[in-house]
């Protein structure tokens, strides 16, 4: 009787099959690596890749060491001033003066309240925010407030746009600076998509680059986290970047940066 080759018939074909399996696995691994490299090549830049960084604050941040904030590399700060037609942030005046004294570019923002006439909100902002040629442009903060206990009204798109235009136009006439519009993903999707391209826009996108959540909308400021930490502030703070170079930032400060460019 013939002695079988070790491993029998399977023993003769196992080595070639093993070699083929190894080759397939290696090819797959190389393919995955190349795909990963391709994805990395086309990923949008992260916030650390932008040279001009800033924060936005309210009374929630409590006492702020503004010199430490500046020394940490912060260039600008927007400070909450007003909300609706009768609420003033209790830390606004202190933060506004101290941030300016520390050498930061700083400005004020207004949180829009849908259950108060826009005329009241214009008058309230003007009453509480000084005219200051050195300040950043005022900001109109447009977002849904699902936690509000006093206002659940969600105006239609046409009403939102009409009232925004009134606020923006009146505030620009009073302060001599074209305001910036701030928005969140859901409010932008529901009411602002495709509109106000003649204004600089500041977008909240804490789960990725704005292009992921806002498509091809041209943006100028990106709020990339609500849990930032920097020297001078004990807790969390919103952190932002400006879309542009230091030279473009200076152009923005001079009021010559075209939002459509």
Is 49 marked active-site? no
Please pick, among 43, 63, 143, 172, the residue that the annotation labels catalytic. 143
Residue 12, CA atoms < 13 Å, CB-side half-sphere: 4
Q: Which residues contact 38 (CB under 8 A, 6 or more apart)?
A: none
CB 199 within 8 A of CB 177: no
**Alpha-carbon span 241 to 76, nearest angstrom:** 9
Q: Which residues contact 127 (CB under 8 A, 6 or more apart)?
A: none
Distances (CA, A) of 155 to 162, 163, 239: 11, 10, 29
The C-alpha R_g of the chain, in whole angstroms, comes to 27
Catalytic center residues = 143
């Amino acid at each position: 009787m013939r002695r079988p080759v070790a491993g029998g018939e399977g023993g003769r074909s196992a080595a070639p099959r093993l070699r083929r399996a190894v080759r397939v696995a290696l090819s797959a691994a190389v393919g995955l690596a190349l795909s990963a490299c391709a994805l990395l090549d086309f990923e949008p830049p992260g916030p650390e890749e932008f040279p001009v960084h800033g924060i936005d604050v309210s009374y929630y941040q409590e006492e702020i060491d503004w010199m430490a904030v500046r020394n940490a590399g912060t260039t600008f700060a927007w400070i909450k001033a007003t909300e609706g037609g009768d609420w003033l942030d209790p830390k606004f005046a202190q933060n506004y003066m101290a941030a300016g004294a520390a050498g930061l570019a700083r400005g004020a923002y207004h949180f829009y309240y849908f259950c108060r006439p826009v005329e009241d909100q214009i008058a309230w902002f003007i009453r509480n925010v000084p005219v200051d040629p050195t300040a950043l442009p005022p900001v109109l903060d447009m977002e849904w407030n699902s936690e509000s206990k006093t206002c659940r009204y969600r105006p239609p798109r046409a009403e939102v746009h009409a009232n925004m235009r009134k606020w923006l136009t009146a505030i620009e006439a009073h302060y001599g600076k074209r305001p910036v519009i701030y928005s969140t993903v859901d409010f932008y999707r529901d009411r602002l998509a495709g509109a106000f391209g003649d204004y600089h826009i500041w977008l909240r996108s804490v789960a990725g680059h704005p292009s992921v959540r806002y498509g091809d909308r041209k943006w100028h400021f990106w709020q990339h986290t609500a849990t930032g930490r920097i020297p001078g502030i004990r807790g969390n703070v919103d952190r932002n970047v400006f879309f542009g170079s230091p030279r473009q930032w200076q152009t923005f400060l001079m009021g010559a940066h075209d939002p459509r460019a």
